Amino acid sequence: MTYKLSPWSLTDLFPGLDAPELESAFNDLETQVAGFEKLRPQLKADMLVSRFLEIVKDSEESTKLANKLYSFASLAFAADTQDQSILALLGRIQQFMAELENRTLFFSLWWKDLDDSNAKRMLDASGDYRYYLEEIRHFKPYTLSEPEEKVVNLKNVTGSSALITLYDAITNRYTFNLEVDGETKELTRGELMVYVRGADADLRAKAYQELYRVYGADGPILGQMYQTSARDWRNENLTLRRFASPIAARNLGNDIPDEAVDTLLAVCKKNAPIFQRYFRLKAKYLKMPRLRRYDIYAPLVKSDKTYAFDQAARIVFDSFNAFSPEVGKLARRVFDENHLDSEVRKGKQAGAFCASVTPEMTPWVKLNYQGHADDVATMAHELGHAIHSMLAAHHSVFTFHSSLPLAETASTFGEMMLVDRLLAEEKDESVRRDMLFRQVDDSYATIMRQTFFALFEKQAHEMVAQNASVEELSAAYLENLKEQFGDAVEVSDEFKWEWVSIPHIYHTPFYVYAYAFGQLLVLSLYQQYKAEGEAFKPRYIKILSAGGSQPPEKILAEAGIDIRSEKFWQGGFDVITQLVDELERMPV
Ligand SMILES: [Zn+2]
């Protein structure tokens, strides 16, 4: 059979927006939660462990149903951000979930409050729920009283969550005009960004200028949304919950020690000169005295090579199969069950993601496939995510999702396997060289770029607390870029609006360091794979299969990795340095 570009089907969740099953799900969930509320008097320090575990099991069932409802609405929204009935459903579900969360809040509050010896009694018998239950207790020092927690939840629906939905709705309807071959085209952001990776230097510049013309026009408003959401983050996490810093709230959620994150960011910052060296080399190849920020993703060879969707799917399956046929089979499941939205449509959310709803269900993957080499890489990336969660499907709904810092392991590893496959098949030396350059481009984009976003977020959250204006934040962002690129890259003024165009820093503050974490980790794992071959595979599968059932530090320690050590992180950069050394030795 031939794989074709298509929207996904959400019928494995619900048959449609008007389906009676959707209403029944609301009702069932309501009934389950009402039943759960009745259990409240049974929660006692000396209760039977078996009773406690039954209650956890009940809440697992409700969580699955809630995940299905929520995913149905948010996936439908991603597929069409402009449909009013989807927006209405999403709003209804957000409201409904917040109310349910409030009604069931007593359980986690009781659990956090339970004395250590009784908690140990329950934990020792809790099997796969253990880490989930431990994680809840980690938040004990930062938890408010039940009525306060309820107010926070309810106010988030119309406050910070609504603000972010609004940010998405505003920015996803942007269109961009670009003159290509004498003809002005109206493009989505995804379509515009193709020109940034194109061979035409003038178009690269114009594409970026157009991107930031549009974002810049709304810059003051988008910036104000960011200020508001950063203030909300601080009000909640520092003023009310007493976290030590804005990033500490994310670190605890990731269960990564603050020191490990500090070490990661510091080592990354120290290694910025490697990429500056690389950009100087790239300028030579592009015959430019100095690279402009517009040019950092420029290809070395003028290649208009595109991959038909079916061809891309097969290359990606092959590269997974070469690692393990079992892994390849998992990737195919996403296609075969029609859980893939691959085509580009107006109103569809830009970018790509993988959503895992429950352990039993094959994940859903969103792409905006346009046939370029990057799109093939993105396909391998998102399918890597899907494989990760399918390998962890034997865990509970609470423990099958890996925590954020490990979340990019399989995706990045999948991309590297793809590149190896493409390199092995490519005979043309200049195309091979271009692919090696692209590998460093990608490392730049996932490690250095994301690190400097995280550094900016740290700074921006402090600046907002000091009442900085949007103008001042933009100036700080421009400084951040200049530090990142040194004198190796010329950064023009419109890049001061880049930060308002990064959805992650709005959606999930401080998420971005997980990319640097993941990529450096994978560089090191991939070295191990190349050195050890077959012997490495079970260790890797074990890391993925653990999902989120253990602390990330422990999962990695079992694979011989110490995330607190500077040396470990530097090891990832040593791989990149070798690659840049090799490229510098090649005759230009
Ligand atoms: Zn990813």
SS (H, E, C) 189-207: HHHHHHHHHCCCHHHHHHH
Alpha-carbon dihedral angle through residues 338, 341, 347, 352, given to the nearest 10 degrees = 150
What is the pLDDT, as a whole number, of residue 304? 66
> Residue 175: how many CB atoms within 10 A of its CB?
13
58 to 66, 70, 134, 193, 483: CA distances (angstroms): 12, 18, 18, 46, 52
For 298-311, the pLDDT digits (tens) are 988 766 678 999 99
For 343-383, the pLDDT digits (tens) are 999 899 988 999 999 999 999 999 999 998 889 999 999 99
244 to 33, 142, 145, 248, 258: CA distances (angstroms): 35, 10, 19, 6, 10
- Closest by CA to 181, choosing from 165, 168, 169, 195, is 195
pLDDT at residue 567 is higher than 70: yes
Q: How confident is the model at residue 243 (pLDDT cuts 50, 70, 90)?
A: very high
For 433-479, the pLDDT digits (tens) are 888 888 899 899 999 999 999 999 999 999 999 999 999 999 999 99
Q: Look at phi and psi of residue 519 and say left if phi exceeds 0, alpha if psi is from -120 to 50, else beta.
A: alpha
Tell me, in angstroms, the distance from the centre of ligand 1 to residue 321's CA. Answer: 20
Contact (Cβ atoms closer than 8 angstroms) between residue 568 and residue 561: yes
Tell me, in angstroms, the distance from the centre of ligand 1 to residue 367's CA. Answer: 12
pLDDT (average), residues 195-210 = 95
Tell me, in angstroms, the distance from the centre of ligand 1 to residue 382's CA. Answer: 6
Tell me, in angstroms, the distance from the centre of ligand 1 to residue 354's CA. Answer: 8
Tell me, in angstroms, the distance from the centre of ligand 1 to residue 409's CA. Answer: 8
Tell me, in angstroms, the distance from the centre of ligand 1 to residue 261's CA. Answer: 19
pLDDT at residue 530 is higher than 90: no
Lowest mean pLDDT among 144-153, 425-434, 527-536: 425-434
Tell me, in angstroms, the distance from the centre of ligand 1 to residue 504's CA. Answer: 12
pLDDT (average), residues 310-318 = 96
Tell me, in angstroms, the distance from the centre of ligand 1 to residue 408's CA. Answer: 5
DSSP 3-state assignment of 510? coil
Tell me, in angstroms, the distance from the centre of ligand 1 to residue 519's CA. Answer: 10
Q: How far is CA 577 from the centre of its chain?
A: 26
When the pLDDT of each residue in the chain is averaged and rounded to a whole number, the result is: 94
Count of CA atoms in the C-beta half-sphere (13 A) of 580: 21
Contact (Cβ atoms closer than 8 angstroms) between residue 34 and residue 77: no
Tell me, in angstroms, the distance from the centre of ligand 1 to residue 512's CA. Answer: 10
Tell me, in angstroms, the distance from the centre of ligand 1 to residue 47's CA. Answer: 42
Please name the residues in contact with 543: beta carbons below 8 A apart, sequence gap of 6 or more: 406, 409, 525, 555, 556, 559
What is the pLDDT, as a whole number, of residue 323? 94
What is the pLDDT, as a whole number, of residue 535? 94
Q: What percent of the chain has pLDDT over 70?
A: 99
Tell me, in angstroms, the distance from the centre of ligand 1 to residue 355's CA. Answer: 11
- DSSP β-bridge partners for residue 176: 187
CB-based burial, 58-96: b 16+ in 10 Å, e otherwise: bbbebbbbbbbbbbbbbbbbbbbbeeeebbebbbebbeb
Contact (Cβ atoms closer than 8 angstroms) between residue 402 and residue 333: no
Residue length, the chain? Answer: 588
Q: Which tokens hold the place of 353? A: 């993601």
